Chain A
Amino acid sequence: MSLASVMAPVPVPTPSPGRVAPPVPRADPSPALREEPRVAKMVVEDLSAWYGRRKVLHGVSLPFVKDAVTAIIGPSGCGKSTLIRCLNRMHEIQPGAAQSGRVLLDGRDIHGGHLDPIELRRRVGMVFQKPNPFPTMSVRDNVLAGWRLTGTRPKDPDAVVEDALRRAALWVEVKDRLKAPGGSLSGGQAQRLCIARALAVAPEVLLMDEPCSALDPIATARIEELIHELAPTVTIVIVTHNMQQAARVSAYTAFLYMGELVEFAETAGLFTRPADPRTEDYITGRFG
């Protein structure tokens, strides 16, 4: 499968030569990659981002394949969080933040008039690096917050709560304390609550910014399981510092370095045969 086929149904950004390596054809593509055709759920085109005068993303272009997991890796401060915050327009809420270039969802510009940020953020959910449950709301209300805060209510709230909590691997731990305040959970539980909160509104895309950095290995494994479960129906973008995790959960990997996209390829190819020496240095732990 080629990168071109990945991005075919939407206007395709032409990656600058040398930056994006074509995925290496492999004898046995993983099952996730075998089904064709692949469609880009979101596409980033020549995206640059600033904080005040400081430019932190330099013309990044890449696709996020529909119903697949894309990992974003790179050293601390390279712009990973900034990049994914541009995907649900959370970048622009910060004072002094600016951006240029285009971000497409289902082939249409998310800044176009057809989609307001509120609608966009319901379709493109987000889990933050630091768990941020709402401390004054109960566990149950936290899960339903995405509905309540947009002035809507699900048909069967109890089912939504249970399903979201089960999928986030938290149900067993909290089913007897759904009325407890959201602030009463441990750090790892709080993060899973945030994941449940994001899942409860059934987003089409889920952005996860280092979702496991506060979790123990068991909870991490559960989240990775969850990602596998979700992948057939949800487009997932996950930022991670953990190479093994990126290799385990993702079909595609993007390597960002100092605000530039150095390499984007199928995960297996990127980790076994990186095209750029900087990628190789990073994944072998020579810097970052």
Chain B
Amino acid sequence: MDAWLYPPPPQRTVSPRLRWRRLADRLFRGAVVASVVVVLAPLAAVLATVIAKGAPALDLAFLTHLPKPVGETGGGVGHAILGTLFLALGGLGIAVPVGVPAGVFLASDRMPRLAGVVRMCADVLAGVPSIVVGLFAYTLLVMPFRQFSALSGAFALAVIMLPTIVRTTEEVVRLVPPTLTEAALALGAPRWRAMLGVVLPSAGKGVAAGIIAAFSRGAGETAPLMFTAFGSQFLSWNLLQPIAALPLVLFNYAVSPYEDWHAQAWAAALVLVVLVLVANLVARYATARRSA
């Protein structure tokens, strides 16, 4: 039998230097944990408040019923939940067909001048206050028709969503290896088919995540809807009529003088937060699965 000789283990002496390093390590760790707490505390506080104040008024009726006339208690925000979904999806309906191709274009590095202009527009748009976007939609789509409408609200949300979609699409399309595009072109694919058939599917889940992020951003906006979708007490699917939205309900109920409505405003806030949170989790889940 072969006996293996091992060298003796090194003596572990703790030098002052090492001791100082360990102390420094602990200090830094503490600082990092503290800063995480500082960042997370407000989020936790907001969530806790919304849940605490919103939960009491939250029940199935609140989610499904229409509001009751002033003076009567009860009623719900079913119309606003559907309205928000309608507006946000409508916004996506406008923003996705514009934003995804724009992002793909930016990632393709062709026509650098035009790309520069597009990129700058997207950046500027991202920085425009949302109330200004609302005014813009108002002059464009409300004034000419003398009518608040779901369409103008969806358009305003689309403008808000656009920069997010353009930028994330550009980023994830850039991550697709250029060798894939080459392979497609070498097979005789025209550029647009290489893009649609190979590059976009490869970036697909990333693009989807960007779209969901844009959705949750748009769903939470209030200001752009004030002069466009305007709000409504009824369930409506008409593009050319005013439509309710959760943030608008929240705002209107919160500034009202009625105790009952205040409670409902909190509940609406809770619903909105949950909606946005769910959308974000879905986005997260989608991106996590794609890298696997």
Contact = CB atoms under 8 A, between A and B. Distances in A.
Contacts of B197: 145, 148-149
Contacts of B193: 149-151
A106 to B, nearest CB: 17
Interface of B is mostly: helix
A121 B188 CA distance: 5
What band does the interface of chain B fall in when counting residues whose beta carbon is under 8 Å from A? Answer: 20 to 34
Contact of B187 (A93, A119, A135, A150): A150
Given A134-B198, A135-B202, A136-B202, A90 B188 contact: no
Contacts of A90: 182, 185-186
B201 interface: yes
Contacts of B180: 132, 134-135
A197 B187 contact: yes
Contacts of B198: 134, 136-137, 145, 149
Contacts of A88: 186
A167 interface: no
Interface in B80-110: 109
A131 B177 CA distance: 12
Contacts of B248: none
B241 to A, nearest CB: 42
Interface string A119-151: 111100110101011111100000001101111
A265 interface: no
Contacts of A198: 187
A146 B202 contact: no
A226 to B, nearest CB: 19
A32 interface: no
A194 interface: yes
Given A149-B193, A201-B188, A136 B109 contact: no
B289 to A, nearest CB: 13
B192 to A, nearest CB: 11
Contacts of A122: 187-188
A95 interface: yes
- Most chain B Cβ neighbours within 10 Å, of A121, A132, A145, A198: A132
A136 B201 contact: yes
A151 B204 CA distance: 21
A95 B185 contact: no
A95 B188 contact: no
A151 B190 CA distance: 10
B183 A128 contact: yes
B182 A132 contact: yes
A118 B186 contact: no
A205 B188 CA distance: 13
Nearest to B203: A136
Interface in A82-110: 88, 90, 93, 95
A149 B184 contact: yes
Contact of A132 (B179, B188, B189): B179
Given A95-B109, A136-B204, A118 B189 contact: yes
A194 B109 contact: no
A128 B182 contact: yes
Minimum-distance CB pairs A-B, first 7: A149-B189, A121-B188, A122-B188, A146-B187, A136-B201, A126-B186, A132-B183
Interface of B: 109, 177, 179-180, 182-190, 193-194, 197-198, 201-202, 204
5 contacts: A118-B190, A134-B198, A145-B187, A149-B198, A201-B188
Given A119-B188, A125-B186, 16 more contacts: A88-B186, A118-B188, A128-B179, A132-B180, A133-B183, A135-B202, A145-B187, A145-B198, A146-B188, A149-B184, A149-B189, A150-B187, A150-B189, A150-B190, A197-B187, A198-B187
